[in-house]
Structure formats: structure tokens, C-alpha cells
Amino acid sequence: MFRRAEAAVFLLTALAAWAERLPIRVYGTADGLSSTNLNCIVRDSRGFLWFCTTEGLSRFDGYTFTNYAFGEGGTIRAKVGRAAVDFLETKNGELWVAAPRALCRFNTFPAAGNALSECYQPAGLPSEGHVSRIAEAADGNIWLLHNGGLFRFVRTERRFESVDVGRPEWWTNLMQDSDGSLWLGAERVLAHRLPNGALERFGEGEGLPVDSGHYFRVSSFLRDREGRLWIGTWQGLCLMTAHPKPGVRAVEHVYTVHDGLPGNVVLDIFQSRDGKLWVGNEKGLSEWSALENRFRSYTARKGFNLYGVDGPALADLAEDSSGDLWMSGPTRLASRSFISYSTVDGLNSNEIKAIFEDHDGRLIAISADPRPRHLNVFDGEAFHPVLPRLPGWIHDFTWGQSQVHFQDHTGAWWVAGSGGVCRYPKVGRVEELAHTLPERIYTTRDGLPGVDIFRLFEDSRGDVWISAIGSDTVSRWSRATDHIEVFSHGERGRALGTPIAFVEDRAGDVWMSFYWHDLARYRKGRFEVFTTAEGVPEGSLPALFVDHAGRLWMASRGQGLARLDNPSAERLQFRFYGMEAGLSSNEISCITEDRWGRIYAGNPRGIDQLDPDSGRFRHYDESAGILTPGKLAAAYRDRHGNLWFGGETLSKFVPEPDDANRPPPPIRITRIRARGGWYPISELGQSTVDGIRLHAAENSIRFEFASLNFDAGENIRFQYKLEGSPQDWSLPSGSRTVDFASLSSGSYRFLVRAVNAEGLISEPAASVAFVVLPPVWQRWWFVILVATGLSMTILGAHRYRLRQLLEMERVRTRIATDLHDDIGSSLTQIAILSEVARRSPAADSTERVEPLMHIADLSRELVDSMSDIVWAINPKRDHLSDLEHRMRRFASDVLASRDIEFDFVAPAEGQTPVRTEVRRHVFLIFKECVHNMVRHAGCRKVRIEMLMRGGSLVLRMSDDGKGFAQE
């Protein structure tokens, strides 16, 4: 039978016996929990809270719930059961979950997406009943308690062993003790299994409580830090002796309703880290008071009834990392949170307009509707409404807020009525105002600017400032003259308005803000009015406050908080705090300060705490116990340091100093989306992730991260940066997701860190190393492949060109050889034969000689031309030196035979290659020039110069001949 907790209904109405509403929050399926029917709540070593529910296992990190079910199909779930019964973390960090009919290991890296698919079932497990509890044995194995017996699970062999615990019982609970023994509870017996296997049984004879039918049931065990053994039963809470033995009284004391418990059925026992002992009961929650040796209980209010009892059962007690208590529901009881009060606690109305203290230090809260308004006096346990006695023609208080009633420094009481201001004489107790008439009533006849009084304020001189709606003037009652003075203008004729807030600074100057806009300072008998031109926030300023350092704080309707460090300065220098600085809203309605100098600002979203020295914020909302944060109208610090906030409800907050030894918040990567899907990481998150490789077309990646956050008011923000990109750490933000799109190729390292309200930074930062691969055409192997292919292509082209050149050279060589050997030899032969024919005796006739001579000349010329052609196309003569050599030889043959001297100057670059056509043309020009010099110039000396200028060949020829007539 699974335990059902109806704590949600209970705790919404639960009150302490001394009139304090518990600062609680109830979670449900709307928050992501798989079911509100719980079997256990356990905190692991990492700080996660685990909830065993009837629909499976749920994990909570302070932000969201993550749910897990057993197996993947109906067959598996039918085999092990649907509910999670118990949860265990072993010493080596393994997580185990008990199902109704099996033991399952929680796999942090599930291969098939299900973390609870590795389940084991004892052989011969009775079909009736179910698993009750699991615990780790001293040897590292796991105890599994079934309704029908006890089993040991051998972890190394993944098998169960049945353990003999005597006759069958309906076993309900077990606890592994520090000495290695095992405590087992059943419906009619308490058993103690010693380390050697011996079994001791305890019952009524050893002092265990029984009902009228001699029946008792063990529900829970606890070995506290002092070594005491507590046993919860359905008949009371038992404190066992140090070394109980069968046959002797083993129970020192049984705590019942006579000791402060709301009921005798104890369901769970828990000791919080501060040493407090908590007991979950059938009718509520109890806290052990060692000083009083009794319990302080939180019970359902009178008249509330559920299932025939006075309240619902509370069990499954646990504590989160911030010290908050969790219980059935699941319900969270905040340790550092707001305690709220309502009409149930004696308030005349839940809507509070003003809060202050009388001379005796008694807190007074002024309530609003229903009319008439009352002064609600707090006696430390409850409120008692007091209605001051009003004259008949003043039937109600004014509708103003905050400073509307007060006790002045002489003890006289001032009350703003609907037709004037009433001053009551000093009385012994505030309750006496109900029977005391005012000693003086101030009306418009006495100089009041109006009858709808909005604010009253007493300055250090004892004068009382008065504002009235409908009048743009400021009034001051003078204690010395008992006269009301009215002011309507400030310096330079600036009009004043209806004051809505007053405060006095250290210099004795009175500051006031007005209904629509502007701020004024009354100093040395005159008003100075400041507007937005001097830096005053726009719109109205509903609250003014001077802190311990003398700084003036202003609450604005749209620009957050404004601060003046030197209110006495002639020129005002404002400093602003808005949402960009960490405020949860820019619409501030009230301000106060705790004893450590931290500022508290009420706004529609809750209350923001600001440390002016560091600029850090902490935010409190409904999760911190503020029932209705929407309309906070008043804030006050009492003489004990408690902070009170009034609006649609009244809340008290007991601030504590910041913990200097508080560790930095942890940080972990929870999810990574890459390659179009989720990258596999641990279900519990990881601080370091490596080995992610993204293709060029998949260069987008998303990171999700979290820091465990169970502290009410904690405002954890996150900073991140991407190593491999030019950006530095981002600004702190509450977002827990970062996307990077269109990343260029390269190696990256994503870093994220958490920053809490005190400015502590998680060290080291969580990191993810990943690589974005370049496109195929940019990868090294592709570049090498392309370079190799290009090189082979160039080499092939080069080789082809060489083959072509070689082939051309061979052709040229063959042509030159053929011309020389065949045509040249034939022409030479013609020339020789022509000469022989010319010299033969039969060749005396002129007719025969002249043609033969002509044939011989043509043949010689043809031989010379052919020699030039052969020389020009010969690939062995492609250098400048070859051209020079042939030109020298020709010049020597022609010029020397005519006794003409010549100088030949040639360039030093003899091995410079010269194309065939260039060589031929240069040589032919040279020959023509030489012939012209010989035939026409009549010269005796010739100079020939051949030069290389840049990439050009220059030929210059000159002689000392007769020249030519220029005309």
C-alpha cells in the first residue's frame, strides 16, 4: 500500500499554534512532476532531489522536474511495476531505485534513452505485496525489504540472496545502522539483525506502545547525530535506549499528543543539518524543542477535516541544499523565507496600508477594507484589532496609506480621519484608544488644506507635516505654536503639489515627493523643488527612505530605485538601479533596510534585496513565501531587526547575514544539441564534455546548462564565452540556453559559469570542446589531393611540351640535314658541272659560256641561301653566340676580301636563346647592310655593334664611307 500525502490542502491552511503561517510552496503536475502521490524524497550527493512517485521517478534541480519511467514497453512495466518505491545512492555513487517488484539501477548514460531499464527481480518473490525499502549494507551490497521477506542483492554478481529473518511478517521499513546491524519494522514487531546474523525482536514487553488491541506498527527509523535511536510507530514516537536487549525495557520514552505531537501516528522522522528534529505526523508537522522537552507542532486550523482526521498525513521528509524542508505533497518549507499573517491570525483585514511600532515596541499594522480601518496590534503570537474611538461626525479613517497614524515622541497618538486629524493623549496601552476620545481635532478651520488626509509625518523638531488629497499645498503643524502653516510654492515661484511621502535626512532637512512628479527639500525655512531637469526620476515617487549611511533612496514608478549619496549637496547627483542592474521590476512601491545595510524594494513581482556595496541583487517572490507580491504598500524594520511588508497580505522576514563560507554555485552542462539531434551526455549533467565534431553543413550548436538552486530568493545568473572566437565573457543573464549558428570551421571551447547573488563564481567553469570541420574543399587531405592532381597535370603538360619541342628539334634537325645533304649537295654538283662545262674546250662560244656562268652563280647563291636556311632552322644554333659567330664569319669573308677593316662588338650574354625567325631576320639584315657597304659606300673601315637592352636585341652598323646626299 503506497502512502498518499494530501499536504497540499493542509499546508495552504496550516498554521503554527502561535499564529504564524508557514512559508511553503506546493508543487504539482503543473510544475512537471509526474505525480503528487509520493513514496520517498531523497537528496543525493550532487544536490539533486529525487521523488519516488506512483508514476515513476522524478528529479528536481531547483528549476525543473525530469521524469523517468521503468522500462520502455508495457511488458517490462508490468513485470517490475509502475511506481518508484524507494531511492538509494551507494557510497561509490551508483543510483538504485526500488520498483514494486524489482530493483533497478539508474543508468546515467542510457543507450536506448531509458535510464531505468536495467532491473533485477528476486527469484521466488511472492506475488502479493511489494518492495518496501532498500538500503546499502556495510559490505556494499544492497538490502531489499519486501513485505514477505528480506533479500540481499550481491552487486558484483547481480543476483539476490534470501535472508532469514524468522517467521513471516508484513515488513514495512528498514535501516542500516552505523555498527553494521539492521533494523526492521513490521506491523507487529520490531526486529534487530546483528552483524553476525543473530536476530533480536522487540514488542510490548520491551516498552513499545500498543493500542487497545495490542497492535502497533513501525513506520520509520532515525539514528540522530547524538547517537539516539528514534522509532516512529502508529502509537507514538519512541526513543530507544543506547543498547536495547530483549527482555528488558528498550524504550526510554514514548512521545505522544501529551508531548505536543498533533497525533500519535508518526509517519517519518528527519534531522536537518542545523540539528533540528522533525516529525511527520498523521495530522501535521512537528519540530522537537530540546529546551522544552516537547514538540512544537504545525497543525490544520480548527474545523478543517480531511478523511475523518484533523489533517492530512505528512511523511517523506527531506532537506535540500539550501536547508529548506520538503515533505509529502510535495511541499517545500523554506528555511529563510517570509512568514505571512492573515485574518486567521487576528488581522481585521488582509490588506495592510501602514506598519509601525509604538513606544513599547509593539508592532502595529493598519488594515484597510473592510471599513472602518483598525490598528492591528501584534503581541508576538497573534494580532488584536483596535479601533480608536472617533467623534460622531468623523465616522472613518482616511483612505491614505503608509504614514497615516503614528505615536509621536511625547506618546500622543495621531490619527488621520475622513474629516480631519485627531490627536489623542498619551495612554498606557494602544488598546485604550478604543475608549479614549481625541484631545484635539484639526480641520480646515484650523488651516488643514483638505479633509482627505493622505500622509502624516513627525520631524525631529516634533512638528507634524500633513498632506491632503485635492490640495496642491503642504501643511505643517508647529508644536511650538499649535498652529498649521500652509505652503504652496517653493523658490523661484515653483508650485508644490500633494505630498505622498516624507522623510528627514541627517542634516535635519525634510524631503517630500509629490503625487504626479518632482521632489522637494525643506531647508532653512524654504523649499527647493527638483525636477527631471536636475535628474529626478520621472513620475511619482511613492516612497522615500534614508539608510544607515545617510543616503536618500527614492522609489519610482518607472525607473526603479534612485539614490542620493549626499542629500545636503547643492547640486544633486543621482544614481539609478533598474532592471538592467538586476531589479526584477522598475516599478517600486516601498523601501526598507536590514541591520547589515542591505536595501529591500517592494515591487509587483516581489521583493528585491540590494547590497549597495557590491551592487548585487537577490529576488524573493511566491516561492519565498510571499503570498501576494502584486500590491506591496508598506515596508518596515522593527527594533528586533525583523522586516515587515504590507500589501494584500502582511509578511515578516527575518534576514540573516551573508554566509562568508558559502561555496560557489555548481555548474553543469545539461543538454547539447548538435548534428541536428541531442548529443549524448549524462542524465545528471556534466562539467566537461569533449569530442564533438560537427560537419561544415552542421555548424550550429545549442548548449543548455544549469546550477542547482534551492535557495529562496537566490538569483543565479550565468556567463559564457566561446574560446576560438573574439568575444569575452558575456554579461550575467538568467537564461540557461545559448545558441551558436553559422560557426566557421575551427576548434572551439564553450565555457559557462554561474554567479550567485553574493557574486561567487562557480570554479571551474563547465566546458564543452568541439570542432567544426571545414568544407571538403578546405580539408588538408583534399588540398593535398588537389595539389597533387594539379602538380601531375602541370608535370604532364610540361612533359608533353618537352616531347613536342624535342620532336620539333628532331624535325628541324632532319630538315637541316636533308637540305644540307640532298639539296645542298645537288646544287653544289650543278655548280661544279656548270664550271666544268664552261672551262671545256667546246665551250668557247659566248652563247654557251654566259648561261653556264649564270647557272654557276645562281647555284652558288642558292647554296649560300640554303646554308643560311639550314643554319637558321638548326636547333643547335639557337643561341646568341651562334648568331654572333656566323655574323663574324660572314663579315670576315666579305669585308676582308675587299681590304676593309671591321670591328665587331658582341654582348656578353652569349648563351641567351634566340628564336629561329629572329636569328634569320637579323642575319639577313646584317648581310644586306654588309653588301651595301661594300658596293656603295666606298668605305675602308666598318664598325658593327650588337647589344642586349632589356629583352631587346639592338644591331648598330656604321662605316667611314662617302655617305649619301641628304637632298
Give the 3-state DSSP-derived string for 42-58, with helices as H, strands as E and coil as C.
Answer: EECCCCCEEEEECCEEE
- Tell the burial category of 469 from Cβ atoms under 10 Å away from its Cβ (0-12, 13-18, 19+): middle
Spatial CB neighbours of 213, under 8 Å, sequence gap ≥ 6:
none
Strands (E), 114-271: 118-120, 131-136, 142-146, 149-154, 159-163, 171-176, 182-186, 190-193, 199-202, 218-223, 229-233, 236-240, 251-255, 266-271
Provide the pLDDT confidence category of residue 14 given band limits of 50, 70 and 90.
very low
Per-residue pLDDT at 20? 54
pLDDT tens sequence across 479-500: 999 999 999 887 777 888 889 9
Q: Tell me the pLDDT band of 838, cut-offs 50, 70 and 90.
A: low
Q: 816 falls in which pLDDT band (50, 70, 90)? A: low
Beta strands 599-603 and 526-530: pairing type?
unpaired
Proportion of the chain above pLDDT 70, given as a percent: 86
- Interval 140-194: pLDDT, tens: 999 999 888 899 999 999 999 999 888 777 888 999 998 899 999 988 889 999 9
Instruction: Identify the three-state secondary structure at position 421.
Output: strand
Mean pLDDT of 291-311: 54
pLDDT of residue 13: 42
Cell of 400: 491614505
Q: Which segments of 578-615 are extended strands (E)?
A: 590-593, 599-603, 606-611
Q: How would residue 308 be classed by pLDDT, with cut points 50, 70 and 90?
A: very low
**Beta-bridge partners for 339:** 652
Strands, E assignment, 746-866: 746-755, 766-772
Closest of 493, 459, 491 to residue 476, by C-alpha: 459
* 207 Rama class: left (phi>0) / alpha (psi -120 to 50) / beta: left
Instruction: Name the band, by pLDDT with cuts 50, 70 and 90, for residue 232.
Output: very high
Q: Give the position of cell 650588337.
A: 946
Tell me the sheet residues that pair with 270: 278
pLDDT of residue 326: 92
Q: Which three cell numbers stand for residue 132?
A: 518496501
Alpha carbon distance 466, 450 (integer Å): 10
Check residue 126 and give its pLDDT.
66
Instruction: State phi, psi for 646 to the nearest 5 degrees.
Output: -120, 145
Distance, CA of 892 to CA of 376 (rounded, Å): 139
- pLDDT band for 4, please (50, 70, 90 cuts): very low
The residue among 449 and 300 whose pLDDT is bigger is 449
Is a pLDDT exceeding 70 seen at residue 5? no
Residue 609 near residue 621 (C-beta atoms within 8 A) = no
Q: Is 927 helix (H, G, I), strand (E, B) or coil?
A: helix
Average pLDDT of every residue of the chain: 84
CB 618 within 8 A of CB 639: no
- Greater confidence, 99 or 312? 99
**446-452 average pLDDT score:** 85
In angstroms, the Cα distances linking 257 to 147, 269, 283, 296, 743 are 30, 16, 11, 11, 68
- Tell me what percent of the residues of the chain surpass a pLDDT of 90: 37
- pLDDT for 848 equals 61
Provide the CB-side half-sphere exposure for 501 (13 A, CA): 24
Rounded to 5 degrees, φ, ψ at 11 are -75, -15
Q: How confident is the model at residue 15 (pLDDT cuts 50, 70, 90)?
A: very low
Quick check: 283 pLDDT over 80? Answer: yes
> Mean pLDDT throughout 185-207?
88
- Residue with cell string 580539408: 779
- Average pLDDT for 603-609: 91
Among the residue ranges 33-42, 84-93, 159-168, the one predicted with the least confidence is 159-168
Residue 686 has pLDDT above 80, yes or no: yes
Residue 232: count other Cβ atoms within 10 Å of its Cβ: 26
Q: What does the alpha-carbon distance between residue 59 and residue 68 come to, in Å, rounded to a whole number?
A: 8
- If DSSP codes are grouped into helix, strand and coil, which group holds residue 41? strand
pLDDT tens readout for residues 511-542: 999 988 899 999 988 999 999 999 999 989 99
Report pLDDT for 345.
85
> In the prediction, which pLDDT does 312 show?
53
Beta bridge partners of 768: 689, 750
Quote the crossing angle between the two packed helices 846-873 and 824-839, to the nearest 10°: 160
Q: Are 530 and 536 in contact (CB under 8 A)?
A: yes
Helix (H, G, I), strand (E, B) or coil at 605: coil
Q: Which 3 state secondary structure label does DSSP give 550?
A: coil
Query: What's residue 709's pLDDT?
Result: 81
- Residue 78 pLDDT level (bands cut at 50, 70, 90): low
Helix (H) or strand (E) holding 740: strand 737-740
What are 333-343's pLDDT values in tens digits?
A: 877 778 888 88
Average pLDDT over residues 470-478: 89
Task: Report whether pLDDT(301) > 50.
Answer: no
Please state, in angstroms and rounded to a whole number, the distance separating the CA atoms of residues 505 and 777. Answer: 73
Q: Which of 561, 554, 559 is nearest to 511 (CA)?
A: 554
pLDDT of residue 17: 40
Instruction: Give the pLDDT score at 716.
Output: 85
| pLDDT (0 to 100) of residue 827 | 67
Nearest to 819 by CA among 770, 857, 886, 867: 867
Convert the pLDDT of each residue in 780-789 to its tens digit. 777 888 888 8
CA distance 894 to 934: 8
Spatial distance between the Cα atoms of 414 and 189, rounded to a whole number of angstroms: 68
pLDDT computed for residue 718 by the predictor: 92
Alpha-carbon distance of 119 to 57, in angstroms, equals 14
Q: Which long-range contacts (CB under 8 A, 24 or more apart) does 190-198 make?
A: 190/218, 190/231, 191/165, 191/166, 192/244, 193/150, 193/163, 193/165, 195/138
Q: Which range, of 221-235, 591-605, 855-869, averages the lowest pLDDT?
A: 855-869
pLDDT tens-digit series, residues 690-736: 988 888 877 889 999 998 888 766 678 899 999 988 888 998 888 89
pLDDT recorded at residue 303: 30
